[in-house]
Structure 1
């Protein structure tokens, strides 16, 4: 299976296995760089897509794993977590922090661990899907596995 994966997706695969997460990376025929495209390709609700969004907060990258059904309210989120302004990272900042490009950022497989927030509403789905390091790859997991994998803090992001 892993022989068909890119180097970035192999890093994600290896991180999943190291964390004891059994979900297999699926290679999609078409890019699924948005939650809507991923949900359509997988035949699942858009809310079951765990978007990996990278922001900048207090000069550091912040990974927010949010339900595909949500837009992150950065002002409310910053207040909720007691931090300074949260702003979208540039494509260059995303690649520097994760080693991955926007549209394919996985919750793992990064050069170094990232502070991570996990949308509490992802818990509503028995199975969620996240990008596997490229816009053509995704993998399934549970909410609990996502929290454990990322070491993320569960919060409301809207």
Structure 2
């Protein structure tokens, strides 16, 4: 297992979540690719988006079937400006590459928002720390491991 996956697994276990990291046959850099391999709805994929809210990293866990509205996220986050983080910023904030950002296992806990649309799924799949891995979570586990605030992001 890649060191990033081990960091995610350790963080999950520390949070009381005993969910293994699943290695996919091919990378799942998009929700559609992950859903296809897992045989689930795209909406059950929890996209990990790192944004900059007034220059500070903000993790947004959104449904793979939805596009976030930066204006809504800015309002909810109490920020005057929200932009997508660039690859170097994502790596600096999470220790992980775009397409593989897990909800946990980062150098330090990020402020997080969790899309309320994910609540309707019994099983949610999130990246496992690398683009070819995922982890199975419940909505409550996702909220717990991120320490996130449940909000509408679109």
- Indicate whether 1:77 and 2:73 are aligned: yes
- Within 5 A, what are the aligned runs for 1:48-59? 48-59=44-55
How far apart are residue 77 of structure 1 and its match? 1.9
How far apart are residue 33 of structure 1 and its match? 0.6
Give the whole-Å Cα distance in 1 for the aligned partners of 2:44 and 2:110: 22
- Indicate whether 1:86 and 2:82 are aligned: yes
* 8 A Cα contact 2:53 2:77, kept in partner: no
What is residue 154 of structure 1 aligned with on the other side?
150
Cα deviations by residue, 1:23-64 (Å, 9 ceiling, x for unpaired) = 111001100110000000100000000000000011200000
- Within 5 A, what are the aligned runs for 1:133-144? 133-144=129-140
- Within 5 A, what are the aligned runs for 1:14-93? 14-93=10-89
How far apart are residue 21 of structure 1 and its match? 0.7
How far apart are residue 81 of structure 1 and its match? 3.5
Give the whole-Å Cα distance in 2 for the aligned partners of 1:82 and 1:104: 27
- Within 5 A, what are the aligned runs for 1:120-131? 120-131=116-127
TM-score by length of 2: 0.98
How far apart are residue 84 of structure 1 and its match? 1.4
Number of aligned positions between the proteins: 154
Unaligned runs of 5+ in 1: none
Name segments (4+ residues, structure 1) moved above 4 Å.
Answer: none
- Indicate whether 1:11 and 2:27 are aligned: no
Cα deviations by residue, 1:68-110 (Å, 9 ceiling, x for unpaired) = 0011100122123332111000000000000000000000010
* 8 A Cα contact 2:62 2:68, kept in partner: yes
How far apart are residue 12 of structure 1 and its match? 0.2
